[in-house]
Structure 1
Amino acid sequence: MNKGELVSAVAEKTGLSKAQAGEALDAALESIQETLKKGEEVKIVGFGTFTVADRPAGEARNPRTGEKVQVPASKAPKFKAGAGLKDAVNG
C-alpha cells in the first residue's frame, strides 16, 4: 500500500473526502516528524512507538575500493510495534 492507497482507505472508512483524508494524514505524519526532531518519542497505544536512536560516528569500508571512509554520527528514527499491531498481523 502506498500513500495514495492509504488516503483512499482512510477516506472510505471515515466518510471524509480524499482531499480531507490526505490533509489529515499529512498533518499526522508532520506532527510525528516534528516530535521526533525534538528527540521525543511518539506512542500510539495499540499500534506502536516511534523513537529516535543516536548512531555514533564510525569507520566503514567502500566495498568497491576497500578504502576506509569516516561515517559521521547521526540520528535514526525507529519504530517498535505494539501488542495490538502484533496481534492483528499474527491473526
Structure 2
Amino acid sequence: MTKQDVINQVSAKTGLDSLTSRSVIESFFEVVKEALIDGEPIYVRTFGSFILKQRASKIARNISQNTAVKIAAHTIPSFKPSREFTDQVRAQEIPFSTKKAKA
C-alpha cells in the first residue's frame, strides 16, 4: 500500500476531498518527524508509539575490502505497536507473501 492508497482510503472513509486528506496525513508525518527530532516520543493509544532507540557502537565488516569498520553509537526512530494492535493483527489470517526482490 502506498501513501496515495492511504490518502484515497481516508478520503473515502471521512468524506473529505483528497487534497484535505493529503494535507492531514502529510501534517501528521511532519508532526511525528519534528517530535522525534526534538527527542519527544509520540504515544497513540490503541495504535502504538513512535520512539527513539539508542544503538551502541559496534565493529562491522566491509567484506569487499576485508576490513573492520567502527560504527559509532547512534539514535534511530522506531515504531512499537500497541498490544491491542498486535493482538488484532495476530488474530487475522493474513496470507504472507514471500516475493523475492529483483537482483
Q: Taking structure 1 as the reference length, what is the TM-score of the superposition?
A: 0.90
Matches within 5 A, 1:1-91: 1-91=1-91
For structure 1, list consecutive stretches of 5 or more residues without a partner in the other structure: none
How far apart are residue 75 of structure 1 and its match? 1.1
SS at match of 2:16: coil
For structure 2, list consecutive stretches of 5 or more residues without a partner in the other structure: 92-103
Relative CO higher for 1 or 2, CA cutoff 8 Å, sep ≥ 6? 1
Q: CA RMSD in A?
A: 1.2
How far apart are residue 40 of structure 1 and its match? 1.3
Select the structure that is richer in helix: 1
**How many aligned positions are there?**
91
Quick one: percent identity of the two aligned structures?
A: 29
Q: Distance in 2 between matches of 1:81 and 1:70?
A: 31
SS at match of 2:22: helix
Which deviates the most, 80-89 or 39-48?
80-89
Q: Distance in 2 between matches of 1:87 and 1:14?
A: 26
SS at match of 1:87: helix
Q: Distance in 1 between matches of 2:88 and 2:23?
A: 26
How far apart are residue 24 of structure 1 and its match? 0.2
